[in-house]
Amino acid sequence: MVNDGPSPVVQRRRLRAELRAARQAAGLTQEQVAEAMGWSLSKIIRIEAGSVAISTSDLKALLRHYQIVDPGRTDELVALARAARERSWWSQYQGVAPAGLPQLIGYEAASSITRNFEPLLVPGLLQTEEYAHVIIRKFAEGAAVERVNTLVEIRMRRQELLDQADPPLLFFIIDEAVVRRHIGGKAVMRRQIHRLAELAARPNVTIEVVPFSAGAHPGLKGPFVAIEFPDPADDDVLYLESAQGDLISRDVPEEVLSYREAFEQLRNISLGPDDSAAYLSTAADAMM
């Protein structure tokens, strides 16, 4: 699956930033805009948060209120709004996928570099189908078989990113606990670890293991994903997993930077790419 341009999620994020900047340049508060437009305050908040799409007519009216009357600039923002409303394959899973996951998939699809740390489980992009099924069935305990199968399907389709003609650079750091925990039994784990070793051999994929001997480290706070985009105008985005399993996005530069620094610290105490690959091969063989 090849993407012809930035995903709608990224376009929506760009539009959100443009509209917030335009309002601030006009010296208006969200409350003042809502009152002038005859909208509820929640509507303008959702538009600026990128959580809802904005119609072309509403956008043009909003731009006029912000004194943006240049036809070229208006056309540019209208085109951005239309692109933000386009549907992607993950859109059909809204309401089924955990909160934040469709947005994460959209950002991954538009990324140039993704950095992922996992302290306990194999990262979703690297899981075999049988490993994913065991994990999802356990986390969605009590859910109907159809829902579990759909969640596994989403995870497998998400991995189409790995086989794009021009895939992003993908950096993964996992704690040794990820390898040592027998999810689904030895046979499932052996195949999963072999899969990790196969993927680590790809030129755009780097997998590193932080050994138990490293002791306490920054990753013990929990898993995270930091995503970088090819356009410098698109700031990096950070994803954290909540206790309920939902994915929470963050785009505060200082917070993103702190996690980027933590990622580099984890790389420094890891086994490194080559020794990690050797470790994975040995671990897989030990599960015979």
**Structural domain includes residue 125:** yes
Q: Which domain holds residue 194?
A: 90-285
Domain stops at, among 38, 53, 84: 84
Asked if residue 134 and residue 37 are part of one domain, the reply reads no
Domain stops at, among 84, 103, 120: 84
CB 279 within 8 A of CB 196: no
Burial class (CB in 10 A: 0-12, 13-18, 19+), 213: exposed
Q: What are 214's two structure tokens? A: 């490293």
Asked if residue 130 and residue 43 are part of one domain, the reply reads no
Q: What CATH number corresponds to the domain at position 72?
A: 1.10.260.40
Asked if residue 77 and residue 149 are part of one domain, the reply reads no
Asked if residue 176 and residue 62 are part of one domain, the reply reads no
Asked if residue 38 and residue 158 are part of one domain, the reply reads no
Residue environment code for 70-79, b if the CB has 16+ CB neighbours within 10 A, otherwise e: eeeeeeebbe
**Structural domain includes residue 71:** yes
pLDDT at 260: 96
Asked if residue 48 and residue 188 are part of one domain, the reply reads no
**Structural domain includes residue 2:** no
* Cβ-proximal residues to 244 (8 Å cutoff; 6+ apart), any chain: none
Q: Could you give the number of structural domains in the chain?
A: 2
**Structural domain includes residue 79:** yes
Q: What CATH number corresponds to the domain at position 266?
A: 3.30.870
pLDDT tens digit string along 36-47?
999 999 999 988
CB 16 within 8 A of CB 47: yes
**Structural domain includes residue 32:** yes
Asked if residue 183 and residue 241 are part of one domain, the reply reads yes
pLDDT at 175: 98
pLDDT at 257: 94
The residue ranges of the chain whose pLDDT is under 70 are 1-6, 51, 243-244
CB 178 within 8 A of CB 131: no
**Structural domain includes residue 3:** no
Asked if residue 175 and residue 126 are part of one domain, the reply reads yes
pLDDT at 3: 41
**Structural domain includes residue 65:** yes
Asked if residue 108 and residue 58 are part of one domain, the reply reads no
Domain stops at, among 45, 65, 84: 84
pLDDT at 5: 52
pLDDT at 6: 61
Asked if residue 17 and residue 129 are part of one domain, the reply reads no
Asked if residue 13 and residue 114 are part of one domain, the reply reads no
Asked if residue 64 and residue 140 are part of one domain, the reply reads no
pLDDT tens digit string along 231-251?
887 889 999 987 667 788 888
